Amino acid sequence: MTDWIPQQIATLKAKYGDVPPPWIVLPETHPYDLCWRMGTGEAHVKVFSAWWDDANFSEAHRIDYFRKWSPPPRWLEWTIEAIWDLDTSDLDDPDEFDYSPYFAQLEALGFGTQAEFERDMNDPKWFGGAE
């Protein structure tokens, strides 16, 4: 682990009690925003991932974490991947992964619906369109 990551984890835990998810650090961003691939966003994702992986939370604890840090609809797929430790990056076509059973579980837990996710994900405001 890079030296700055443990220091940043300690700083965030002192400020927030935990390492917050991406939408707390940069609330008005889309999950596909370039900021998550460089700069502040990329650094936060590295810190969050290191902390999350080291914590090795149970599923119940992961769900409680996201109850504390309620995700905006556009972040529900990311939340699914975090709660159920899914990794679609090695699939031939990750876009073909069926998230619907996980969205049903999230909805039952009170986090929102797949329809809300799709609406927010594709809102023109994220792509320079009219609000």
Does the predicted TM-score (pTM) go above 0.85? yes
Q: Of 81, 20, 77, which Cα lies nearest the Cα of 45?
A: 20
Residues 88-105: tens digit of each pLDDT: 888 888 778 999 999 999
**Number of residues written out for the chain:** 131
pLDDT higher than threshold 70 for residue 17:
yes
Q: What is the pLDDT of residue 130?
A: 52
| Residues 102-128, mean pLDDT to the nearest whole number | 95
Q: What is the pLDDT of residue 129?
A: 58
pLDDT higher than threshold 90 for residue 42:
yes
User: H/E/C letters for each residue in 82-103?
Assistant: HHCCCCCCCCCCHHHCCCHHHH
Residues 43-98: tens digit of each pLDDT: 999 999 999 999 999 999 999 999 999 999 999 999 999 999 998 888 888 778 99
Q: Of 63, 75, 55, which Cα lies nearest the Cα of 13?
A: 55
Residue scoring higher pLDDT (22 or 1): 22
Alpha-carbon separation of residue 38 from 25, 46, 59, 98 (angstroms): 14, 11, 30, 28
